[in-house]
Amino acid sequence: MSRSFDVVVIGAGPAGYVAAIRAAQHGLSVGCIDDWTNKDGKNAFGGTCLNAGCIPSKAMLESSELLHRAQHEFKKHGINTGTVKLDLGTMQKRRASIVRQLTGGIAGLFKANNVAGLVGHGKLLAGKQVEFTPVDGDVEIIAARNVILASGSSPVELGIAPFDGDKIVDSWDALEFDTVPKRLGVVGAGIIGLELGSVWARLGAEVTVLEAMDDFLFMADRDVAKIAAREFKQQGLDIRLGAKVSSATVAKKAVTVAYDDKGGAQTIEVDKLIVAVGRRPHTDNLFADDAGIQTDDRGFIVVDDECRTRVKGVYAVGDCVRGPMLAHKGSEEGVMVADLISGAAAEVNYDVIPSVIYTAPEIAWVGKTEAEVKDSGRAYKTGSFPFAASGRAKAMEQTSGMVKMISAEDDDEILGVHIIGPMAGELIAEAVLAMEFSASTEDIQRTIHAHPSLAEAIHEAALATDNKALNFPPSKNPRS
């Protein structure tokens, strides 16, 4: 007899596995199908995020940052270690072990929540039937009352620089190099280019990043982008803007990359080339032609604000639908859809999704940039506070960067918060919570922040919007 579930989820990345667990918490019967296969041939839940994205990249960012600090910062603290050396093998083993623990944890969570974890390929057929092709065993047709498509995304491949898994690689291969390339090229100064460029630069590679756009970090606030460009330059990242790559030729030992910029035709020679020019929705063999699913011109599954497709009872969440390709955005969509299926009210506040770039200094923001607020026509005020004036940042020897707050003139609404500096990815949570609760800037001004803490910089930036910063002279505030 064929199986049936209240909910079948296709994809066990952060969007799908979270949806499956929440649906099971509502007492629904749930099957979650996933076909992720790691380089060792083993299957694992967790999708891109846990196996090849968020988690392994943050493990490598942390390790490489520690090496950098030990080599360059310890002396300032009066700590003499002698020569600090890299053991890349151990660093990589640690990364792999964190990934194993977390992906194994999802299998455990499925068991604990009574979710049937189904390893293999899933395909939506007409009439909410799902064809399940297990990694071992026979094809099965599963009946579902509801289906959640959570199939994620894959790296965009450039025809002029196709991945070969050795010299021209995607972000997954680039996390697993077993030696530090002497010369590393990166195409794309987006989030992956900056994070992985930083990792390998700190581990000793000479890194050149080629970015097609003339503006650096076009999605970030301009004041933040300016500081970031200066910091990365100081760290030795050679970021070349307005660079249109025309070819990448692999010879035995190197890759020759040709590009055009304002100065004309240029070439660089590198030992490895990472291509990180964005990701595309992954919908290969995900649904039958007659299943009723519609995709847009970029391949994203078309959904409404509540992640419903055109087919009643079929939803899609995460990277395979519109919106930022971020794990936390996908997870919240998964929770919303599971709640809606159970009959509860639910929504995702797409205006308040934080973004974090885990470089050093970290970059984080929520809400609108100053340029976006200006374009909206709404009268606004801004306030900034530099970490150079923060006692905690000084004690940490991490004084680069600032917090910038943008607020409405009329009702004091917080419109955007932009941070570049130590622990920006943690600090942004305060701003996200404030905006989610519709707090005013004055609410943050009147909230007691522990001293000394990095969070005081958010307090001071809020005060600075009204020229009331206490630990920084108004005359030096670039916004006053």
Judged by the rule CB under 6 A, the positions of this chain that interact with ligand FAD are 10-16, 33-36, 47-49, 53-54, 57, 121-123, 150-153, 171, 192, 282, 286, 318-319, 325-328, 330, 358
State the DSSP H helix or E strand holding residue 363, giving kind and residue range, or none if neither: strand 362-367
Q: What are phi and psi of 61, to 5 degrees?
A: -65, -40
Residue 282 within binding range of ligand NAI, rule CB under 6 A: no
Residues in region 363-382 near ligand NAI by CB under 6 A: none
Piece in contact with ligand NAI (CB under 6 A), picked from 60-68, 190-198, 404-412, 414-422: 190-198
Min CB(321)–ligand FAD separation in Å: 8
Q: Which two tokens stand for residue 95?
A: 């990364």
CB of 16 to ligand NAI, least distance (A): 17
Shortest distance, position 245 Cβ to ligand NAI, whole Å: 5
Residue 55 or 405 having the CB closest to ligand NAI:
55
291 binding ligand NAI? (CB under 6 A):
no
- Report the 10 Å Cβ neighbour count for 123: 17
- Which DSSP category does 447 fall into? S
What does the DSSP 8-state code read for residue 128?
G
Which residue from 89, 162, 165, 324 is in contact with ligand NAI, where contact means CB under 6 A? 324
Size of the site for ligand NAI (CB under 6 A): 24
Among 67-75, 211-219, 385-393, 405-413, the segment contacting ligand NAI (CB under 6 A): 211-219
- Residue whose token pair is 């205006």: 351
- Indicate the residue among 313 and 323 with the shorter CB distance to ligand NAI: 323
d(CA 150, CA 13): 7
**What tokens does 214 get?**
């003339």
**Residue from 72, 121, 451, 459 carrying the catalytic annotation:** 451
DSSP string, 148-160: EE---EEEPPBTT
Cβ-defined contacts of 293-301 (< 8 Å, 24+): 293/124, 293/149, 296/322, 301/149
Let me know: does 147 contact 32? Beta carbons within 8 Å.
no
Nearest-5° Cα angle at 475, 469 to 476: 80
- Mention every residue, 6+ apart, whose C-beta is less than 8 A from residue 1: none
CB-based contacts of 379, cutoff 8 Å, min separation 6: 408, 409, 410
328 binds, among ligand FAD, ligand NAI, none (CB under 5 to 8 A by kind): ligand FAD
Cβ atoms within 10 A of the Cβ of 269, count?
14
Dist CA 354 CA 308 (whole Å): 23
Q: Quick count: other Cβ atoms within 10 Å of Cβ 9?
A: 34
CA–CA dist 215, 93 (Å, integer): 37
Residue of this chain nearest to ligand NAI (CB atom): 190
- Choose one: 140-148, 336-344, 354-362, 452-460; the region binding ligand NAI (CB under 6 A): 354-362
Nearer CB in complex with ligand FAD: 176/261: 176
C-beta of 57 vs 384, nearer to ligand FAD: 57
CB under 5 to 8 A by kind: which of ligand NAI, ligand FAD, none does 150 bind? ligand FAD
What single DSSP character describes residue 176?
-
210 counts as binding ligand NAI under rule CB under 6 A: yes
Tokens for 416? 């955007």
* Binder of residue 286, out of ligand FAD, ligand NAI, none (CB less than 5 to 8 A by kind): ligand FAD
Does residue number 276 form part of the binding site for ligand NAI (CB under 6 A)?
Answer: yes
Judged on CB neighbours under 10 Å (0-12, 13-18, 19+), 375 is: exposed
Of positions 102, 107, 187, 239, contacts ligand NAI by CB under 6 A:
187
Q: Residue 189 binds which one of ligand FAD, ligand NAI, none, with CB within 5 to 8 A depending on kind?
A: ligand NAI
CB of 264 to ligand NAI, least distance (A): 17
- Name which of 10 and 454 has its Cβ closer to ligand FAD: 10
Catalytic annotation present for 451: yes
Residue in the structure block whose two tokens are 């990249």: 57
Binding residues for ligand NAI, per CB under 6 A?
A: 158, 187-193, 195, 210-213, 245, 276-279, 324-326, 356-358
Q: Which residues are catalytic?
A: 451
